[in-house]
Chains A and B, each alone.
Chain A
Amino acid sequence: GAGVSQTPSNKVTEKGKYVELRCDPISGHTALYWYRQSLGQGPEFLIYFQGTGAADDSGLPNDRFFAVRPEGSVSTLKIQRTERGDSAVYLCASSQLGVSYNEQFFGPGTRLTVL
């Protein structure tokens, strides 16, 4: 079956612009997570959805970051007024609650570069 997919794979934008990053989770997975990974570091949590609602958004760095999952499947991470410090790989993961010890399946990521 299809894994987690993310589009675009690469995004180059200019400082101050708005970007949207898309995640298609594994079909039937109710939980969806966004992480951000800087070069040479492990992923850092941003936001977690259970169904359509954001169950925990404590990792969002500031109010320029926002994510939605309107139908409980596809999710979009939105970044307003991008800054150079937002450059990173944005990873999406999904999981099926209650199946195992929160095993999460990751997509390949979107590499965001803010010039």
Chain B
Amino acid sequence: TQLLEQSPQFLSIQEGENLTVYCNSSSVFSSLQWYRQEPGEGPVLLVTVVTGGEVKKLKRLTFQFGDARKDSSLHITAAQPGDTGLYLCASSGSARQLTFGSGTQLTVLP
């Protein structure tokens, strides 16, 4: 089973600041997904990255897949309180089920 390590575990920043969170594995990802989870809700898919070196943008969120497909990052520009949540990376490998990292709990203070 592929292990996904996320860092930092917790992040608390002021509105307007930029931030980056990371997802790493010792083995190659076939594809990687980023989810955001808010309290009392299930995770919601933000993006899927597939190709090494790929960069995808979703408004103020920029997702990057490492060239070797063993790491990924999520960068948020000018964070807003609405960005608060648990950010999870996940990969399915050859199986159908997802393996999740332990997540980064982001709090954006107004």
Contact = CB atoms under 8 A, between A and B. Distances in A.
Q: Do A and B come from one complex?
A: yes
Contacts, number: 66
A107 B40 CA distance: 10
Given A43-B98, A45-B97, A102 B105 contact: no
Interface string A41-68: 1111100101000011001000000000
A35 to B, nearest CB: 8
Interface residues of B, number: 25
Given A59-B97, A101-B50, A103-B48, A41 B103 contact: yes
A31 B105 contact: no
A41 B44 CA distance: 16
B25 interface: no
Interface string A99-115: 01111111111000000
Contacts of B99: 45
B31 A101 contact: yes
A108 B96 contact: no
Interface of A: 4, 31, 33, 35, 40-45, 48, 50, 55-56, 59, 91, 93, 97, 100-109
